[in-house]
Structure 1
């Protein structure tokens, strides 16, 4: 197996590990953020249910935007970590070869 094939295989392995790491971080963030939300305030009973559904829609939208931004942050972190690991691995191989 040539060096290029080994490097490609290592890159694929690192990418898989970064994806698994990103999923674990997302799950960890989700569990940490769930209890941090304050309990909902008591709502006055109203004659119509439109206000209740608007409030639910707004709350769900804010929650989903938070989850989406967290996922983007985790993905950026995973890509950065992968690139850092690949560069350090390359430097380490060069040092071991005496270049």
Structure 2
């Protein structure tokens, strides 16, 4: 019986060693799966709010530039109309001055 008992003890020790090796192997497999899942995770997409902010900023700059350009054009037209009016006025005054000089 002692021979059977020693065989049973040896088998139990071997099973315990095999169980520990299997547990370590399973833990290594799980660790590898976790690492692979983390590496395959896609990068988050860029935030769309930032690009919308840039678009809005450029639209505002374009509108402000257009308003400034139109204001500059209207100012140039006003200066030209004023110059024509002053020229006409000076021509009329000069003509009147010559008439007064001849009669006088």
Using the size of structure 1 for normalisation, the TM-score is 0.52
Residue 94 of structure 1: aligned partner = 99
CA-based RMSD of the aligned residues comes to 1.4
Q: Does 1:85 align with 2:90?
A: yes
Residue 47 of structure 1: aligned partner = 50
Determine which structure has the larger helix proportion and give its number: 2
Q: What is the CA deviation profile of residues 43-98 of structure 1, one whole-angstrom value per residue up to 9, with x for unaligned ones?
A: xxx50111111010000000111111111111100000000000000000111011
Structure 2 residue ranges without an equivalent (≥5): 1-48
Structure 1 residue ranges without an equivalent (≥5): 1-45
Number of residue pairs matched?
A: 54
- Structure 1 segments of 4+ aligned residues over 4 angstroms from their partners: none
Pick the structure with greater CA Rg.
2
Using the size of structure 2 for normalisation, the TM-score is 0.49
